[in-house]
Structure formats: structure tokens, C-alpha cells
Amino acid sequence: MSVPGMTETTEAVARARAGDADAWGELYRDFAPAIFRFCRRALPTREDAEDATMEIFMKLRDKLSQYDETRSFSAWLYRVAANHCWDILRRRKIRQDKETEDVENVPLEHPDPSQLDKLIEQKTSEEVRQALHKLGARARMALVLRYYSDMSYDEIADALGVRRAFVGVVLLRARHELRQALEGKSALAAGGTS
Amino acid sequence: MDHLDEMTCLLYAERQLDRARAQAVSAHTQDCAACRTLLRALDRESRLLTRAMLEADEPLPARLAEFQERARKTHHWISGLIFGLAATGVYALYTQLETWQARLSDAGFGGTSLLSLLIFQGAFWKGWQSVITLLEVLAMLTVAGFGLVIFRRRLRRGSALALVFAGLFAALVSPPPAGATEFRKAQTAEVRQDEIIKGDIYLSGERVRVEGTVEGDVYVAGKDIDIDGHVTGDVIAACQSMRVRGRVDGNVRSAGNNGIISGSVGRSVTWFGDSVTVDSTGKVGQTVSMFGGNLAIDGQVGRDILFFGHEVGVNGAVLGSIWEKGDSLIIASTAQVGGRIQFKGDQQANVSPGAKLASPVEFTQREHRSEYTTGHYYMWRIIWTAAFILLGLVLFLLLPKFASEAVSAGERVAAPIGLGVLVFFGVPIAAILACITVVGFPLGLLTLGLWFFAINCAELVVGNVVGNWIFGRTADTWGQIGRMAAGFVIVRIVYTPIAPLHVIGVLVALGIWWWGIGAIALALYRRLQPKVSSSSMGVPVAAAS
């Protein structure tokens, strides 16, 4: 899928806001695959991702009037998606406080640089995707927001409800969990299965 | 040599360090191979993560691929249905009104006013009880709808389906109501003298006779109806003529040409039609309400008389008051009236000297001039317009966000009108039902109050939508208020000449109310949804590829 041109997107958004159903269709066709992939990475199951994608676009339809056209549409869309997915995870009683406590209290082991380099080199994309699903919800969401949606630390802090200074710790801990999962060790927090 | 910690390396790789710190890290990695390797590994790890997540390993599910098309089709279907029904209704009223009036007249319904025409149609349809039942169903649907809106977030798909199936199962296995209902249709439909019907009965035919006993309600449609037996419930009728010679313990509600009550009616008589006579032997326990031609009271009425029509003649006894808006009121010397007599008509009431009245007749001369031709009417329109704009101003300043959301919801037109129809009818009924139960009384009363307030705000919302269409949208509060005021004035100017056009005037008014109240309801509905932050930080996004 290619990224829709900014001008075309802006036009489609403007037309969709005016009630043009075709424009809405264009936006859906252009962005639904990426949003589905985002949800697929962030949520535990495929069914969850499908439901969430539909819900996000239904919400979007109502919220389109709130979108500031001077900003990037796709960034705004990912924000909506991120918040929606995180809401879903939180509603499922993800023990946010406990995880935060874990992150703050458990010391992180300094990796051996050459061994880490070797591990990264050996692993395929498919193995990484499988490992991602073994992570805790917060760790997985943090990695998705940063390395899929390309969100800034400020945005991640806002989406996850943590302090900005804490985002680096969350990301580093998520990487450690990922490495453990890649090495075949059980992740520190189970996040569900795909 | 001390090495950099991993967090510092990560923040450096992600360009999150300040300039001085980044320079220090950069200088360190010039000389330290281990830290340089760590930095490279972290960077490769980032790229591996991005690559792994961006790869389209799964195609878009068919369900999602079809979702937009299905949603679009559904939306079109609903919009099309609403507009189709509305257009058909307007067209039918325009073209068929006279035809229907003629047909009803031929069928024995001599109603000449729009009110009686509409009411006759309603009575012909299924009877008042059915109307009430329908309204109750609408109310229940509304309550259920609101319940679903509130609780749907707590229902997973599986449990929702389980609820649906459980409900269906319960509906299928639940026993029928205790009282059996009977249907009889014939040229002459009857309940014979020796029969006892336990429960309600529906009778239809050219002639209908009830000579036996019905322990329930009687729903009857026919040309000539005779109630000679005993009905313990109500008699709901649509007919040309009806005679009650027997005994009805409940009410008599009828749309018909002529009614003669020679027997007794335990409670009230409500009649839409040409004439009703309470014979000298007739007795009505409570009130007689009539909308139509002539009412003659030769017997006894236990309480009041409410009358809109041509003429009331009283020869017998009315133990309560008389309120009449009609052409004439004749009170004979044998008459006896126990309460006030208020008469609004063209000429003074004709009162015989021997009549026993509790108080003199209070007469008000009726004015035939249409209010629409008076300057007074337009002056008050202007005053009310200003008052409504003031209300809109206050609401906008108090609730700017919600006001904007309501206006935004109103811009979709079809959806709010559809929802508005439901809310307009459903909410007051649900509120009244809630009031019936003692516990629900405060809630019912509050809901009713909010509903009434929303009705008053509806035109403001529509005005603002019109203002936005003409002058364009704005985020500025005072700009929105200006558009609301201008749009409201435009709506009023357009509506004022339409208002006197009876059916069209009523339909347009209803349309405005439905549209506005639907928009308010839609905005409220969206407020009940889980909050989603929608602010944009304007970051570069490469992930949508």
C-alpha cells in the first residue's frame, strides 16, 4: 500500500467532512489496511484487530469535524487508533500499575553488545512479529507506537498515560522483553496470543 | 574505561538527548568499540522492529474490505427510506386529502375538520387501545435503545448475541396473556344473549350486536352497533351508528356518526363524530367529551361535559361543569347543571327560565379572524424570536462544546431527523410510563422536563445549521452565535408564511422539531461513547506504507 498523497488526503478529508460518501470511501480504502495492521500489532488477536479497525473508522466518521486540517491526517488517525486500542486493553483489566511498578523497580541488565548485535542479525521479521505477541500489552503498545506509527516520545507518553521522561524506560524494557522472547525465554509479562 | 549505559545509548540513537549530552556520547563512541557496537545493535534493532511491523504479512480481511461498502449501502438505504417516506407522505397529503375526506364522508364519517379526519383515521386503524399499545412499544424500544447505548460497551459480542437469543427464547416460551381474546367477523357479528365471553373480543361486520356478557373490552368496527348486554370493560368502536341500551362498566370511546346512550356507561364517553344523545333513560357515570356535531343530554351525566363542535342541548342533568366551544348552547327548562358553564360561541346561550343552574352561563364571543392576519401575532413572533436567540446565546456560552456538537450532528440531516422521530414520540411516553411507577416518578418528570427543553432548543439547532450552510462554519464562539441567530431568523422568516397552511405548517414544524431534537440526541449519544483523544502533534508518519 502506498501512502496517500497529502493533497489528495486533504481534499478527501474536506469532502468527507462535507458528507461526501465517496470521499469517505477513499479515506477508508487508503488508510484501513494500515490501521488494521496497527491494530493487529497492538492487540492480542486478529478478531480484536478487525473489530477495532471498524470501530476506529466508525468513530472517525463522527470525529472528522474535530480534525485540524493544518496537521497531518495520518498522524491524527494513528492517535485516534492508539487511544482506541489502549482503551480496549485497559478495559480488559491490564494491570497498568503493576507493570509500571515492575518497570520502575526491576533493574535492567546491561547487554553484551556483540551478542545483541548477533541476535538481531539472526532474527527474521516473522520471528520478531511472533515475539511481539508474547510481550506485555504496555511493552507491545509502546513498540508499536514508536516503531510502527513513528510517534514522538510526547505522543507516546500521552497515549499510554505515563510521564514523558518515563517513555525511554518503557521502550528499553520492551526491547529487553522482546529479546527474551526472541531467545525463547518467557517474556516478563504475558500479553495474550494471536 | 567506563561504558555508556544502555538507556543513554538508546536515547542517543533515538535523538532524545540534549545537544551537550549527545556530543559527549558521540565523543565517547569514537574511542569505545563496545559502546559503538551497542549503538549499532540498538539502531539495527529499531530498523528490524519497524520492518517487521510494516510488512503486510496478512491481507486486509474480507470483512473489513466489505465494511465500508456495506456501511455506505446501509446509510444510503436508511436515508433513502426516510426521504422516500417523507416525500410519499407529503405527496399523499397534497394529492389525496380531498379524496380521503370524500371517502370518509361516504363511509359515514362526517368530520370536516382536519383534527377529526386524523382522529377518525386513527380510530379506523386499530382502535385507541392499539394506538396506546403501539406507543408503549415505541417507548419500550426507546428505553431499550438508550439502555443498549449506555451498556453496549460492557457487552461483548458473544454476550450480546446470547442476550438476543435468550430474549427470543423467552418470548417464544412465555405463556400467552391470561385473558383469551376472541375475534368474530360476519355480516352480523354478535355475542348472543346467553353467551359469556371471558376476556376481550374483537367484532366486525355490517351489524354488530352484543346481547350477552363480555368480561373484558369490546373492540368493534361496523355500520350499526347495538350494545344491549353487559360489558365489564371498555367499548372501543369505529362505526356509523351505535346504540348502548345495555350496561358498560368502563368507557365508551368511539369514532362514528351517531351515538345513542339509553343504557348506562359506568365511566366516560369520548366521541368523535356527528351526534351523541344521552337518552332520558341514559346515564354516564363520569365525563362526556365530544369532538364533532351535536350533543344532546336528556339523561344524566355524573361529572363534566367537554365539547368542541356545533351544538349542545341539555334537557337532563349534568352534575358537573360544562365547557363548550361551539356554535350554540341550549339549556331547556328541565335541565339541571351542578357546576360552571363556560361557553365560547357566536351567540349567547339559550337558557330557559326554569333551568336549575349552579351559576349563570359564562359566555365568550368567538372571534373568527385568523390570528395570522393580526399584527399582534407577528409582534409576538418577533418577541419570541428575540427570546429564543437570547436562550441560544446563553446556551452557547454555557455549553459551547456541546452546542457545537449538536449543530455538527444536525448537519447530517437524515440521521438526526430519523432519531428525532423516535425521541419526539418515545421519550415522553417512556417518561409517563416511568411516572406511573412511584420509584420512577422523579426520573420520569425530569426526563419529561428535559424533553420539553430540548424541543424548545430544536429550532435553535436547525437555525445554526442553516446559518452554517449560508455563512460557512467557524470555530469562533461568537461567530457560531452569529450564525445561530441569523439562521434562526431565516428559519422563522421562511416558516412564518408556511405556518397557517394547516397540514403543511404542522409537518414543517414537526420536521424542524425532529431535526433539532434528533441532533441534540445524537450529540448526547456521542457524549456517551468512550473518549478518544484526537489532538494531533504533527509528527512525520512513515508507517502507513
Domain co-membership, B414 together with B321: no
Domain co-membership, B234 together with B337: yes
For residues A117 and B40, the answer to whether their CB atoms sit within 8 Å is yes
What's the rounded Cα separation, in Å, for the pair B202 and B220?
6
Q: What is the pLDDT, as a whole number, of residue B204?
A: 84
Among B320, B350, B365, give the residue marking a domain's end. B365
Inform me whether the C-beta atom of residue A6 falls under 8 Å from chain B C-beta atoms.
no
Domain co-membership, B378 together with B352: no
Angle between helices B375-398 and B441-471 (to 10 degrees): 100
Domain co-membership, B247 together with B388: no
The architecture that CATH gives domain A96-182 is Orthogonal Bundle (1.10)
Domain co-membership, B353 together with B382: no
Inform me whether the C-beta atom of residue B68 falls under 8 Å from chain A C-beta atoms.
yes
Give the H/E segment covering residue B204: strand B201-210
Which residue, B532, B494, B351, B426, is CA-closest to B140?
B426
**Residue B439 buriedness (CB in 10 A; 0-12 / 13-18 / 19+):** exposed
What is the model's pTM?
0.40
C-alpha cell at B87: 416525500
Q: Which residues contact A97 (CB under 8 A, 6 or more apart)?
A: none
Mutate: best of A150, A156, A170, partner B, most B CBs <10 A: A150
Domain co-membership, B199 together with B326: yes
Structure confidence by residue, pLDDT tens digits, A8-24:
677 888 888 877 777 88
Domain co-membership, B377 together with B314: no
Phi, psi of B277 (to 5 degrees): -125, 125
| Per-window interface: B 110-169 vs A, CB < 8 A | 153, 157
Structural domain harbouring B30: 6-49
Which residue, B339, B311, B313, B315, is CA-closest to B325?
B311
What's the rounded Cα separation, in Å, for the pair B58 and B64?
12
Q: Taking the CB of residue B359, how many other CB atoms lie within 10 A of it?
A: 12
Query: Is position B115 within any domain?
Result: no
The total number of structural domains that make up chain B:
3
Angle, vertex CA B453, rays to CA B447 and CA B454, nearest 5: 85
Buried b (16+ CB within 10 A) or exposed e, B445-483: eebbeebeebbebbbbbbbbbbbbeeeebeeeeeebbeb
**Where along chain A do its domains lie?**
6-91, 96-182
Domain co-membership, B407 together with B273: no
Inform me whether the C-beta atom of residue A159 falls under 8 Å from chain B C-beta atoms.
yes
Inform me whether the C-beta atom of residue B534 falls under 8 Å from chain A C-beta atoms.
yes
Mutate: best of A26, A35, A48, A117, partner B, most B CBs <10 A: A117
Which residue, B100, B117, B127, B433, is CA-closest to B270?
B127
Among B316, B350, B365, give the residue marking a domain's end. B365
Q: What is the pLDDT, as a whole number, of residue A62?
A: 74
Fold held by A6-91 = Rna Polymerase Sigma Factor; Chain: A (1.10.1740)
CB contact under 8 A, A113 and B34: yes
Q: What is the pLDDT, as a whole number, of residue B143?
A: 54
Domain co-membership, B384 together with B282: no
Closest approach of chain A CAs to the CA of B526, in angstroms? 8
% helix, strand, coil for chain B, step of 5: 50, 20, 25
Q: What is the pLDDT, as a whole number, of residue B71?
A: 52
Beta-bridged to residue B95, according to DSSP, are none
Distances (CA, A) of A162 to A88, A156, B380, B425: 17, 8, 58, 47
- Total residue count of chain B as it appears in this document: 545
Query: Is position B98 within any domain?
Result: no
Which residue, B185, B198, B255, B203, is CA-closest to B232?
B198
CB contact under 8 A, A117 and B537: no
For residues A128 and A175, the answer to whether their CB atoms sit within 8 Å is no
In the predicted model, is pLDDT for residue A43 greater than 50? yes
Among B365, B399, B415, give the residue marking a domain's end. B365
| pLDDT tens for each residue of chain B, 545 residues long | 678 888 999 999 988 999 999 999 999 988 888 889 999 999 999 999 999 888 866 777 877 777 666 555 544 444 454 445 445 445 444 444 445 455 444 443 444 433 444 443 433 333 444 444 444 455 555 555 555 555 554 444 444 445 555 554 444 444 444 455 688 888 888 999 989 998 888 888 889 999 999 998 898 888 899 999 999 998 988 888 999 999 999 999 888 889 999 999 998 898 888 899 999 999 999 889 888 889 999 999 998 899 988 899 999 999 999 999 888 899 999 999 999 999 988 888 899 888 898 888 998 887 766 666 677 777 888 888 888 888 888 888 888 888 888 888 888 888 889 888 888 888 888 887 776 665 566 777 788 888 888 888 899 999 999 988 888 777 677 778 888 888 899 998 888 888 777 788 888 889 999 999 999 988 888 777 654 433 333 333 333 33
Query: Is position B60 within any domain?
Result: no
| Per-window interface: B 73-112 vs A, CB < 8 A | 75-76
CB contact under 8 A, A148 and B38: no
